[in-house]
Structure 1
């Protein structure tokens, strides 16, 4: 395949990264804060919605994955078409949380609860479908690790541009004080995101798809997807792979930590950094930097990954997380500028580590094809089974944190009924959570990652499965 062709496809995947990040960064950053502070959702409904969200998370990923790997519907025939047809619905799902079903002050608690359940399930349905296409495009666009690192740099650049949505929303809405402006800006963000994703859906061809198009022009039989194993057999083959297990255990706790950072960064920042102690523009920049710092680090640090390999880089990242959390816990909240620096370091490290995970999972998917001599790749299933294990962390993490915060009176903080001592206790538990999360999770990840055996990229020829051995019509 020509270099120019690959460059065009990388550009298309980067466009998907922009569109995906525009709405996913804003969604994860704001939905907890909006429902807790603006809609005043009751804790019982919040916990129920997260529980149902967790169940749906566990069900839909492997099912959609099997569908994308095994069916030939127009919306799942190729990876790019999965993105193309789902993009408008994904953008629409982003808008659902920001428009309450009535006046939040007079709504019945169950209405707000059903609103959150609907928003989370609709969002995750489209997030999963488009996200699987995104991940599979990354894996199947090229099998060369150097080119995959190049893909990471370009997609992180796209993600960096997309994550600016948080900074824009923070400033235009005056940190949610002007909620109507927030809603209007969200509509604009959704439209722009949809256009970027649809561009990817038009142009992001994989090597397999290009080979099929070439075969069609030369008069060869059309190749269609066919899965020789049942859903349960295929799931067992993937789940009982030692490398896959080592990765998903680490990834589960990574997502637990990442969700904590993205959902509660603004909430903890508002409580621990006193209003008026820093200029408003600095606070907005601080919140915006929480989603951009990691992207810049990955873009400029990709050469380090190329030199030392992602296994060692992830290992060192885990060690730094543990040490930084432990050191700052011992030192204590010295001043607010140091606190801001620590929060940014934690957020940056978490996102940097997550950005490299597609390299590891792509290697797992590549080796799965060789191990079982597959007639065509089951990349979606590998990512889907990963999500089956990992996605529950997205619900468990906020449930865990909200429960702890409410024990210390966070649900009454919004009413202004806490006294000074109770407010101080709440601030202390927030600080402890900030420090202990990276310490505990980093230790667990260090142990799990030790069982991962794919330390060096093995040679893998994409022609092993491009058009090989599949049924024809």
Structure 2
């Protein structure tokens, strides 16, 4: 087997992981807020408390798991692929926790539903973090060639595209959550398929470093065990004083803030702004399904553009475009249902497609860090983990902010049918304003923060030369 064929097989294994994660990730983000708000009728104070605890756990677990994966040699953390292999069943199980209420939702005490959401979010994020860190590190450590990394992004997006069909499948099978038992049964099937795909990746996704270690052992050389010459706090300090890293994580924080808003509230906003009967049910299902699949198609067919212009310019132009269309649509107002659907899809496509490129700057930052500090082995998990430490709170803060805004306009009373026509019009207007101002405000902030990023798509070899300032070596 040639090295290229071997790499192709490993890339396909990572694509299987992307598909498995997307199957459950798309559905979890799309449904959990709607299920707990509209089906379980969770009270706002319990929802806000659960999101606050979720935020704290998010901030703690990412860097801890990152250091664990980079520094320990347990069976579940020896290699990136084994981290995926042993965590896959628990990750699939964490997906199922929200969809099975702890009793009759109509008679449950509010605190039971609140504890249910807290448990579901923390269990989900624990497994999402552990598997997600390993998946990101597989992307960075599988190859250092930017062309191959773009190819991996393309294959990963194909996997994500196939996986994101779970939203359309669940919409269809449950008749848009009208049949909750069918929704639950479909979720179980989705979880099983996802687990099998992730375990396949855990068997076949060898990194270059892992293959080198296996070759050394076969040649009689001692296997190099993972260890850190620096403490956890020293590594954290080194990363947090990196200008490129800070610039990136600020941009990433607001990207996640935007994506979480779209993922959690897309259906809620669409149900309110596009009244029932305005479009056929099949079109509505396709509309919801397209919100999670269209971005993948853009990335699959747009990798050539990224290769030509570099990820820095593509991300920069997307920010300018986001500022423009958010402001223009806010000024024109909701013209009709079809224009609103187009705007919502455009917003969702851009947010998700640009986010899929963010592993490229993180990989460059990890390569840069290894060269700068002359490390014996990369601390890729730490790079992704500290990034998550800053970024993950957005996953909680975004829904907390939006739920607070909506309830101030009566959304909590709308669910109980206690909102009159005038108040409902005000709620719809507030939803439209939030929908337009999110991309405008976030785009402005990202435009400023991204200006301080200096790598700008530079090849890894050039980064290394710049960091080490080896002018004589670079000139060759």
Fold conserved between structures, TM > 0.5: yes
In 1: Cα distance, 2:265 partner to 2:385 partner:
26
| 1:445 corresponds to | 446
- Deviation at 1:421? 0.4
In 2: Cα distance, 1:211 partner to 1:295 partner:
33
In 1: Cα distance, 2:267 partner to 2:420 partner:
22
In 2: Cα distance, 1:462 partner to 1:303 partner:
22
In 2: Cα distance, 1:109 partner to 1:249 partner:
36
| 8 Å Cα contact 1:271-1:427 kept in structure 2 | yes
String of CA shifts for 1:102-137, please: whole Å, max 9, x gaps.
000000000000000000000000000000000000
- Deviation at 1:83? 0.2
- Deviation at 1:222? 1.2
In 1: Cα distance, 2:123 partner to 2:56 partner:
13
In 2: Cα distance, 1:186 partner to 1:251 partner:
30
The runs of at least 4 consecutive aligned structure 1 residues that moved more than 6 Å come to 461-464
Match runs of 1:81-230 below 5 Å: 81-230=82-231
Counterpart of 2:211 in 1: which secondary structure?
Answer: helix
| 8 Å Cα contact 1:171-1:284 kept in structure 2 | yes
| 2:372 corresponds to | 371
Match runs of 1:232-381 below 5 Å: 232-381=233-382
| 8 Å Cα contact 2:368-2:464 kept in structure 1 | no
- Deviation at 1:463? 12
- Deviation at 1:240? 1.1
- Deviation at 1:196? 0.1
| 8 Å Cα contact 1:160-1:295 kept in structure 2 | yes
| 1:467 corresponds to | none
| 8 Å Cα contact 1:143-1:462 kept in structure 2 | no
- Deviation at 1:455? 1.5
Counterpart of 1:377 in 2: which secondary structure?
Answer: coil
Against the structure 1 CA distance between its residues 457 and 310, is the aligned structure 2 distance closer, same or farther, given a 3 Å change threshold?
A: same
Against the structure 1 CA distance between its residues 462 and 209, is the aligned structure 2 distance closer, same or farther, given a 3 Å change threshold?
A: farther
| 2:66 corresponds to | 65
Q: Which segments of 5 or more consecutive residues in structure 2 lack a partner in the other structure?
A: 466-476
Against the structure 1 CA distance between its residues 462 and 427, is the aligned structure 2 distance closer, same or farther, given a 3 Å change threshold?
A: closer
| 2:473 corresponds to | none
In 2: Cα distance, 1:397 partner to 1:414 partner:
21
| 8 Å Cα contact 2:411-2:427 kept in structure 1 | yes
| 8 Å Cα contact 2:23-2:190 kept in structure 1 | yes
Structure 1 residue 417 corresponds to structure 2 residue 418: yes
| 1:52 corresponds to | 53
The alignment's TM-score, normalised by the length of structure 1, stands at: 0.97
In 1: Cα distance, 2:133 partner to 2:463 partner:
20
String of CA shifts for 1:53-103, please: whole Å, max 9, x gaps.
000000000000000000000000000000000000000000000000000
- Deviation at 1:461? 10
In 2: Cα distance, 1:215 partner to 1:85 partner:
25
| 2:388 corresponds to | 387
| 1:436 corresponds to | 437
- Deviation at 1:460? 3.5
The alignment's TM-score, normalised by the length of structure 2, stands at: 0.96
| 8 Å Cα contact 2:455-2:463 kept in structure 1 | no
- Deviation at 1:324? 0.7
- Deviation at 1:459? 3.6
| 8 Å Cα contact 1:164-1:288 kept in structure 2 | yes
| 2:34 corresponds to | 33
In 1: Cα distance, 2:21 partner to 2:440 partner:
30
In 2: Cα distance, 1:51 partner to 1:459 partner:
39
- Deviation at 1:44? 0.2
Against the structure 1 CA distance between its residues 224 and 260, is the aligned structure 2 distance closer, same or farther, given a 3 Å change threshold?
A: same
- Deviation at 1:458? 3.2
In 1: Cα distance, 2:418 partner to 2:114 partner:
24
- Deviation at 1:239? 1.1
Counterpart of 1:460 in 2: which secondary structure?
Answer: helix
String of CA shifts for 1:377-432, please: whole Å, max 9, x gaps.
00000000000000000000000000000000000001111100000000000000
Against the structure 1 CA distance between its residues 423 and 463, is the aligned structure 2 distance closer, same or farther, given a 3 Å change threshold?
A: closer
Q: Which segments of 5 or more consecutive residues in structure 1 lack a partner in the other structure?
A: 465-473
- Deviation at 1:223? 1.1
| 2:22 corresponds to | 21
| 8 Å Cα contact 1:143-1:460 kept in structure 2 | no
Pairs aligned (count): 464
